[in-house]
Amino acid sequence: MNHKNSIFNIQSETDFKATALEVFKFQFEHNAVYRSFCDLLYKHPSDVTSLEQIPFLPIEFFKTHTIISTNKPTKATFTSSGTTGSIVSKHHVVDLDVYKQSFRTGFESFYGTIENYTVLALLPSYLEREGSSLVYMANDMILQSKQPESGFYLHDLEALKNTLTSLEAKGQKTLLIGVSYALLDLIEAYSFELKHTIVMETGGMKGQRKELVKSELHALLKQGFGVDTIHSEYGMTELLSQAYSKGGGVFKTPPWMKVLTRDPEDALSIQPIGKSGGINIIDLANINSCAFIATQDLGKIRSEGTFEILGRFDQSDIRGCNLMVL
């Protein structure tokens, strides 16, 4: 199925719904695990006429099953970060061009062309393991940016400080994208007054520091970098698209991605706008795996099609999703 063109040319809610229902039908027919899940719920494409009726596959299945909607060979397998010995999610990607088109077009729709930015990536815990989709994306952005200073910084905070300071002095537009704990390490060692830099956190203390509430984290980062807002990127191993926040922890999705919330007490029931619940994601770029995923994040949809993340379910709270043991 080649829906690449229709997915990345969605212009309206009507387009989105029509494409999503087509993708649902396609994945029902070609994804054995998803088909079994739908069968258990007695959901068939002929009965599904709205987005809310589409079954959302619990994200846990990426840890225990191969979630794929095609016979094409896998080009890359992205894995989630896990503690030693824990089971990690595996996302088998058969078409890396779809992933590239998704993150390039997505970023550009929020921030303009990446070529105008120097990209500084501070992602130590991700770089130290294989299979990070975030490192793949950051590496592509670095290459696309065509700026000589663009690159990854592992633990050399002094070199990063010197680069940031010289770029600031030149007035060069810069994107500093980093995992939360590493950004905190940087501002504990140095302080900044950044006027030309977007500071974007990708979440995650990765066991390196105690978890902070987002507002606390952002307050510390704003002070340390001397900026008015902290931007955030929301993505996950199991997706091929990202949502972005330009401040205040309020995220917006690109046109081919949509977020709904489910009732925490009844996993199959979608909540009205404004009620907090489990985050369900439709990511149509995930055409070759599963585009309809029930995550373990807790969040709230705001009226203007934006959302915020409030936290995570602990393991005991997701039993309502795990209806199926294959």
163/195 same-domain check: yes
Strand 90-93, strand 76-79: pairing: antiparallel
Residue 207 vs residues 59, 143, 151, 203, 212: alpha-carbon distances, Å: 21, 30, 25, 12, 12
Distance CA 39, CA 203 (A): 36
The one-character DSSP state at 305 is S
Name residue 188's amino acid.
E
Q: What is the mean pLDDT of the chain?
A: 90
Q: Could you tell me the residue range of the domain that residue 24 belongs to?
A: 10-75+256-318
111/213 same-domain check: yes
pLDDT of residue 184: 94
pLDDT of residue 324: 37
pLDDT of residue 83: 62
Using CA atoms of 88, 152, 97, 50 in order, give the dihedral in degrees to the nearest 10: 60
270/180 same-domain check: no
Does the pLDDT value for residue 250 go beyond 90?
A: yes
pLDDT single digits (tens) 114-139? 999 999 999 887 777 888 899 999 99
23/66 same-domain check: yes
Q: Which contiguous run of DSSP H or E holds residue 61?
A: helix 61-64
pLDDT single digits (tens) 32-74? 999 999 999 999 999 999 999 999 999 999 999 999 999 999 9
pLDDT single digits (tens) 197-246? 999 999 876 666 777 788 889 999 999 999 999 999 999 999 999 999 99
pLDDT of residue 143: 96
Both structure tokens of 295: 């995550």
pLDDT single digits (tens) 263-283? 988 888 898 898 999 999 999
What's the CATH code of the domain at 35? 2.30.38.10
What's the CATH code of the domain at 147? 3.40.50
Query: 206, 238, 270 — which closes off a domain?
Result: 238
User: Exposed, middle or buried: residue 111 (CB in 10 Å: 0-12, 13-18, 19+)?
Assistant: middle
138: in domain: yes
300 beta partners:
276, 308
- Give DSSP secondary structure letters for 125-165: HHHTSS--HHHHHHHHHHHHH--TT-EE-SS-HHHHHHHHH
What does pTM read for this prediction?
Answer: 0.92
Cβ proximity of 63 and 88 under 8 Å = yes
154/223 same-domain check: yes
Over range 168-197, report the average pLDDT.
95
Percentage of the chain exceeding pLDDT 70: 92
pLDDT single digits (tens) 279-325? 999 999 999 999 999 999 999 999 777 999 988 876 544 433 333 33
92: in domain: no
Sort residue 150 into left (φ over 0), alpha (ψ -120 to 50) or beta. beta
234/276 same-domain check: no
Cβ proximity of 107 and 264 under 8 Å = no
Cβ proximity of 290 and 283 under 8 Å = no
Place of tokens 């200073």: 149
